[in-house]
Amino acid sequence: MGRLAFIRRTSAEWTGGAAACAAAALAILASGARPSAAADVVVFTSAAPVVVEQVLATAFTEASGNRVLFDVGTVREIQDKLSASGRPDIVVLPAAALDLADKASVLRPGSRIDLARVGIGVVVRAGAPLPDISSVDALRKTLLAARSVAHPDPLGGGFAGVQIARMFARLGIADAIKPKISLAYAFTGGVAQVANGDAEIGLFNISEILPVKGVTLVGQLPPELQSYITFSAALHAGGTAPEPAAGFLRALAAPNAREAWRSAGFEPIGGEH
């Protein structure tokens, strides 16, 4: 999927709280001086955190003059690009995936920062009755009673799909629910399947539910079943705009960015790994 097409879709769909997030983000670099020659900062990122990254990028560009270009994909797609000598300025991935990039020596030593974590949520079509997910047993009954359930493909290289598949096995419903599963990533239309009624229930990262119109977030998975994904970022060792990239990396983890992360469905962390 082209980077611009994805950015237009998410920007158009994410309305709730966007203005407040942007205002908070603008304060991060409001006092910074614009450089005489602007640079392009290329970010390889998985999909879950990209909406809040875009909000913070808008503030960063206004304050510094440097543009931020996002190349968005699944974890596996980003890993494949890095293995094929892709040279972004910044890499944003789940912490476990960034560990692998670190071991492959493609990241700049000492640049890694933990940004935020996100849990898996349950989503239904706007206006639909809210199912009971208040306990492990209630969630089991809800999933078994659902006409159809959408979630990311566990074999597609993402983390959420694997966690959801493990949850089905833990609940003892993997075989029973398999015929009504629809596999789709949130950023390629998975949540939209719930919005248009093709799927009755969806299970996706909360950050990927909130930007989509026509759906209601029922809530997080019960604590006993919840699996958080921590997202981390680092400078790529081969980046061509190291100083502007370092500035944007600081902006992503700055204290003033915390409200933007929260509004996008994350729990901010911040600080070095």
The reported pTM is 0.79
Measured distance CA(215)–CA(210) in Å, rounded: 8
Per-residue model confidence as pLDDT tens for the chain (273 residues): 333 333 333 333 444 454 445 444 444 444 344 445 789 999 999 999 999 999 999 999 999 999 999 999 999 999 999 999 899 999 999 999 999 999 999 999 999 999 999 999 999 999 999 999 999 999 999 999 999 999 999 988 778 999 999 999 999 999 999 999 999 999 889 999 999 999 999 999 999 999 999 999 999 999 999 999 999 999 999 999 999 999 999 999 999 999 999 999 999 985 444
Measured distance CA(95)–CA(82) in Å, rounded: 16
